[in-house]
Amino acid sequence: MSILIDQQTRVLVQGITGAEGSFHTRRMMEYGTTVVAGVTPGKGGQTFDGIPIFHTVRDAVLNTGANASAIFVPPAFAADAIMEAVDARVDVVVCLTEGIPTLDMISVKRYMNGKKTRLIGPNTPGIISPGKCKIGVMAGYIHLPGRIGIASRSGTLTYEVVNQLTKLDIGQSTCVGIGGDPVIGLTFLDILQLFEEDRDTDAVVIIGEIGGTAEEEAAEFFSQRMSKHVIAFVAGITAPAGRRMGHAGAIVSGGAGGAREKIAFLEKAGMTVVKNPGEIGDTVARLLAGPA
């Protein structure tokens, strides 16, 4: 199994005719993802590499049965694109757009209350269930089907960890980039709950960053509700307070959100915390092997 997406996922691409949308649509299709529709207002009735294009998400869903969306639209229009997909009752929306105003995302989060749609991102590399489906921009060839779940705030570190695991012949069930912005859809806590319920995921790696409380919330869930191993790494241990580092959400303020504080919280909860990202693969292998 996997979480959120699988072989039956039918993807529509919002912004399919743009430069990024067209490039990554082709890469997703090459990986084996079933892309059934594109959405570009004003270009309905056209096609892209044989894929029908619709004016609206609702029309795309009604005509193709799409149940997931990849959003490649400029920041100014991304919030509306997400809400349009929510209105069309799309199951999973993956917003790749970077630089969406925080106030726009606050409005999106309020709009989504009580709705069925699950949002990944924004500012995410996407989600992949190796060998089954890829929605996003990650390099599919480094992934290997298997039983380790990954949830991460950092795209670059995700690739590094996946590469380590694959070289050790340790496959992944699903890899989710939750996004690096201050306001996002699914959080570490949400993803851990899904992995805990997935009978084909044996352990989980989470890759955190400074800023916010996502890691602390995940630690509380782990200590109270999880039966599976969680291996954690937190980036940004040398980051100075008050300075944004990389992602919009990666900032330590008011004495909270620092890497050392997060690491202490994760360790207290019982997670296996790795201080050096180069050791994550070996740590996973050692835990899977069990006591010597």
Q: Is 55 exposed, middle or buried (0-12, 13-18, 19+ CB in 10 A)?
A: middle
Structure token digits, residue 69: 């969306």
Helix (H) or strand (E) holding 148: strand 145-152
Contact (CB, 8 A) for 197 and 227? no
Burial 70-107 (b: 16+ CB within 10 A, else e): bbbbeeebbbebbbbbbebebbbbbbbbbebeeebbeb
CA distance 104 to 120: 16
Catalytic annotation, pick one of 24, 143, 229, 247: 247
Burial 108-133 (b: 16+ CB within 10 A, else e): beeebeeeebbbbbbbbbbbbbbbbb
Structure token digits, residue 254: 């008011």
* Residue 143 appears among annotated catalytic residues: no
Catalytic residue list: 247
